[in-house]
Amino acid sequence: MIYGAMKFSIGGSLKLAFRPWVEGLENVPAQGPAILASNHLSFSDSFFLPAVLDRKVTFIAKSEYFTAPGVKGKLTAAFFKGVGQLPVDRSGARGAGEAAIKAGIEVIESGGLFGIYPEGTRSPDGRLYRGKPGGLARVALATGAPVIPVAMIDTEKIQPPGQVMPKLMRPGIRIGKPLDFSRYHGMDGDRFILRSVTDEVMYEIMKLSGQEYVDIYATAAKRQIADEAKRRAEAEKHKGTEPGTQG
């Protein structure tokens, strides 16, 4: 009931204000389990995708959204629960991964739609990064559920970092045909199979999105960007303290 109310209010508002265009809705089954594997450009991805689907989509979210203290914390927790988010503790990398996999399997076994971002985090620059094999592939191979590649398009342009007010523009959602990995069912302990399955899904997402593909993890790219920014800041700091310069 809460999800329906949230979908009507938030989803309806998003569709009215931004008018997202959609291709391939027929590729999402009307019933039965499936995994929606999407690129990740913006915080809003988890709202635009459910807004255009008739069925409930369950994503995972960091547990901090559900445990913050005070009235604001309770309202935040209620909001994320209402829009179909499941809390996952990310305090330990391995523990977080196992919790996410367990959550995904439970959603699939209940006949639902499980949404996941194989990149593991938002793209830092709009490009598509290497998918992490631990979550998507393991859920797919453990359950035999079909994987539906999804491409979010231009959602990162709606509210770039540092911009307070969102830009009213039409983002896009392109949904590909389901991928069947039942031939690997039960082989979720083979890391080569996990890598192969993940790469196949990422290739389909790349074709749908038109993004440039970068064969490193997005988390590594973010570290590189942060390190470069730190180096530039240090260089500017030392430049300002060199003899003969004015500070």
State if pTM tops 0.95: no
pLDDT at position 76, please?
63
Answer yes or no: is pLDDT of 228 > 70.
yes
* More confidently predicted of 218 and 46: 218
| Complete DSSP assignment for 201-220 | HHHHHHHHH-PPEESS-HHH
209 vs 183: CA distance, rounded Å = 27
- pLDDT, tens digit (0-9, with 9 covering 90-100), for 87-101: 776 555 555 678 888
What's CA 18's distance to the chain center, in Å?
A: 20
pLDDT at position 7? 67
Q: How far is the C-alpha of 38 from the C-alpha of 40, rounded, in Å?
A: 6
Could you say which architecture CATH assigns to the domain 2-215?
3-Layer(aba) Sandwich (3.40)
Six-digit token pair at 182?
């039942």
Distance CA 234, CA 135 (A): 38
Between 240 and 20, where is the model more confident? 20
What is the structure's pLDDT at 98?
84
Q: What is the dihedral of CA 19, 29, 185, 45, to 10 degrees?
A: 10
pLDDT band at residue 206, thresholds of 50, 70 and 90? very high
CB 174 within 8 Å of CB 150? yes
* DSSP secondary structure, 2-31, as one string: HHHHHIIIIIHHHHHHH--EEE-GGGS-SS
Quote the pLDDT of residue 160.
78
Q: If you average pLDDT over residues 14-41, what whole number do you get?
A: 95
**In the predicted model, what is the mean pLDDT of the chain?**
86
Q: Using CA atoms, how far apart are residues 144 and 237, in angstroms rounded to an integer?
A: 55
Question: pLDDT confidence of 247, banded at 50, 70, 90?
Answer: very low
The pLDDT value recorded for residue 92 is 53
Q: How confident is the model at residue 238 (pLDDT cuts 50, 70, 90)?
A: confident
Structure tokens at 69: 């203290």
Per-residue pLDDT band for 233 (boundaries 50, 70, 90) equals confident
